[in-house]
Amino acid sequence: MPTQQPVQRSRAHRWAYACGLSVKRGYRKLKTFESRVVERAETAGIPAGKLLVHGSFLTAKFALLGAFLFVSFWLFVLKCTIVVLAAIPIQDSGTPGIDDLDDPTHRTSWPERYDKWGSLK
């Protein structure tokens, strides 16, 4: 039976795992803080304290999620706009217009407008 090769973990995998763990740890801390606030509300005798605390924390979570989605959407729109603007070709033709007499290449671009001595007809 062939031996199994150990799983290779790249630096990116380790960072993703560490970030996931920190998010999980932060969420657990938030839940413990919420439960402590619920206990304080119940011991203080606030009517419907548990419901008020859970509702306010849920509202705060939805507000943070909404703000994150709002910022993400506008960053996506900005990125798409930059890509589209970068893809637009620059309309710079090398020849001057027929009325651009001040351009140094006008005489070679429009020779029919000049006589044999180089003056305008």
Instruction: Give the pLDDT confidence of 40-86 residue by residue, as tens digits.
Output: 999 998 888 889 999 999 999 999 999 999 999 999 999 999 999 99
Q: Decide if 70 is inside a domain.
A: yes
49-87 vs 11-44: helix axis angle to the nearest 10?
150
Confidence of residue 120 (pLDDT cuts 50, 70, 90): confident
Q: Report the amino acid identity of residue 19.
A: C
**What's the structural domain count of the chain?**
1
Note the pLDDT of residue 46: 87
Residue 4 lies in a domain: no
In a domain, 118, yes or no: no
Residue 104 lies in a domain: no
For 9, 23, 24, the CA distances from 18, given in Å and listed in that order, are 13, 9, 10
116 inside domain = no
Structural domain contains residue 110: no
In a domain, 109, yes or no: no
Domain holding 20, by residue range, is 13-86
The region of weakest confidence among 5-9, 32-36, 46-50, 67-71 is 5-9
- Which amino acid is located at 2 in the chain? P
Residue 84: Cβ within 10 Å count: 9
